[in-house]
Structure 1
């Protein structure tokens, strides 16, 4: 049996308001009195009316959709951050489409091309790197993009990250103050700006104290490769402390040290991570780490993107937000250090 599609005119008639009032009630950011909103929504519910978002987009030229592209969700930082991004965008009247993309630049470019086909108003790219050609394509299409937790050399690209260099330096200073001299580093994916900057800050902090990095391995931000990196690093002349490029890997490192290699953390070796994901605070890990200020990073990302949507001539912005060292039990605490 065919069903009747309710129109905004019918809602207006039942609510006793104009059709334009109905339109304002269902348009994000439009103004309507509380009384009008109540009457319109009550009438819409009675009639089973749903606004035609696509038709409205064709008229306004705005879809009200933000494309959110992310390379992987295994790292616990990203599901938490993406939930925050989605919530705040929805509060600002936008719908969110999430797209998954493999880490390689070619595949990511293909996914972003698909996002542009959805006529999105803007794009947030989390943990991914884009080609310069694609960032130019987005600009030509009039679709602003902001990088979240990743930066590029392109001065026309807005980006929001924690202050990764400062975070790496904090890890170095803490381990040195704890009396460590044989200090290792397990790197993430070397194509990531976050990895590059965390290592740069860490190595610089060590060298400023006259200490060279004792050992280095690459874990590529994955659990299995972090375990393999730990096995290689501790096969001979092991370090007495390790800074790991993120918590996702640091947890794998701790499990390998304790349950496979029979080492005590922090008695035999101190471990520091980066991100401060929820699991880091669990008693099983009690991980000392550099906190990424996710709430502030999300707020800045959304503000920059929506400013660019409202005014395409707004200059791109690079924001680096300082995050604190969170001291727990996985690394030796220096005598007299304030916790």
Structure 2
């Protein structure tokens, strides 16, 4: 004989409260229930193994408490770390995550129909941009969109980004002040705000110091491609003394190219990355890099989302959040040799 499914009525009986009180405890109205009653309900629910029916609640409140997240580059450890943080922090606020892995950097309308089907309350887009048709679909549904670590000029959506321009500007200054004069920049894909801002910041820094990069190549934010282009560049430009890579994954590929050519890091070639993913701290890499304030960016994204859902925002907002340079052992101070 099958066990009877535990309901809110069962929890209410055990806790000595009404069924609507149980429903409020497990909804956005939970704070309206006294601490003493809420504790009794939570203890009864735990004892009975009760799990609230999210979809039944959504019919009552007209809120699904589901947030859509779109991501493309799961090969870069930065984004799985970001996804984990979003899941953790949204769960604590009583939200559920509906995740979609997009096949390209441009999210088409057909890819996000699942979000519409489940009536998500907001959508967070990380390393991609919405096509005009996808953006219009969300607008028609009055679904707020928040870009994370990327933005689109003239967009009507919110955005939370690391201050990529200032970060790359400071990295350029750091390399020059450390005595580097022949710098190669291994960039990322063209036509993304992340790449454009980092490139502009880095070039402006060198220009301020009356320098030009020895060469700029596209590593596509990919370890294998960065390995290939770094190896080619180092063979064609033997005077290069440093590599600034658009992200840590690119830096790992470039470091492999340096050592495969029989050169030493940092004695012969200095390497700087961007992101400060966990692997950057490994003794194998000990990578000097720019730390993106991941946790602060995730929290700010959620705050903007909640403000929009709560009708506290009248227009799109963009938040620039600074990071910091993390100095490890992949850069040599060559200033005394200059």
- TM-score (normalised: structure 2): 0.93
| 1:9 partnered with 2:9 | yes
CA apart distance, 1:194? 0.8
1:213–1:27 CA distance, 2 compared to 1 (3 A): same
Distance of 1:161 and 1:286 partners within structure 2 = 25
CA deviations 1:43-83 (Å, max 9, x no partner) are: 33454433221011122111011111111122121122221
CA apart distance, 1:157? 1.3
Ranges in structure 1 where 5+ consecutive residues have no aligned partner: none
Structure 2 counterparts to residues 296-311 of structure 1, below 5 A = 296-311=296-311
Match of 2:294 in 1: 294
Match of 1:90 in 2: 91
Q: Describe the SS at the equivalent of 1:153.
A: coil
Distance of 1:170 and 1:225 partners within structure 2 = 25
Kept in 1, the 8 Å contact 2:58–2:64? The answer is: yes
Ranges in structure 2 where 5+ consecutive residues have no aligned partner: none
Q: Describe the SS at the equivalent of 1:186.
A: strand
Number of residue pairs aligned between Structure 1 and Structure 2: 334
| 1:187 partnered with 2:187 | yes
Q: Describe the SS at the equivalent of 2:235.
A: coil
Which range is displaced more, 198-207 or 130-139?
130-139
Distance of 1:46 and 1:323 partners within structure 2 = 45
Distance of 1:251 and 1:11 partners within structure 2 = 54
Match of 1:79 in 2: 80
Distance of 2:277 and 2:298 partners within structure 1 = 15
Kept in 1, the 8 Å contact 2:179–2:333? The answer is: no
Q: Describe the SS at the equivalent of 1:329.
A: coil
Distance of 1:328 and 1:109 partners within structure 2 = 44
CA apart distance, 1:219? 1.1
Kept in 2, the 8 Å contact 1:142–1:312? The answer is: no
Match of 1:51 in 2: 52
CA apart distance, 1:109? 4.0
Two-structure CA RMSD over aligned residues (Å): 1.9
Structure 2 counterparts to residues 227-242 of structure 1, below 5 A = 227-238=227-238, 239-242=240-243
1:275–1:45 CA distance, 2 compared to 1 (3 A): closer
Structure 2 counterparts to residues 264-275 of structure 1, below 5 A = 264-275=264-275
CA deviations 1:281-311 (Å, max 9, x no partner) are: 2222111111111121111111001111111
CA apart distance, 1:233? 1.0
Q: Describe the SS at the equivalent of 1:234.
A: helix
Match of 1:167 in 2: 167
Kept in 2, the 8 Å contact 1:132–1:154? The answer is: no
CA deviations 1:198-221 (Å, max 9, x no partner) are: 011001111122111211111111
Q: Describe the SS at the equivalent of 1:235.
A: helix
| 1:222 partnered with 2:215 | no
Q: Describe the SS at the equivalent of 2:319.
A: strand
Kept in 2, the 8 Å contact 1:174–1:334? The answer is: no
- TM-score (normalised: structure 1): 0.92
CA apart distance, 1:103? 2.4
Structure 2 counterparts to residues 136-151 of structure 1, below 5 A = 136-151=136-151
Which range is displaced more, 26-35 or 51-60?
26-35
Distance of 2:6 and 2:323 partners within structure 1 = 52
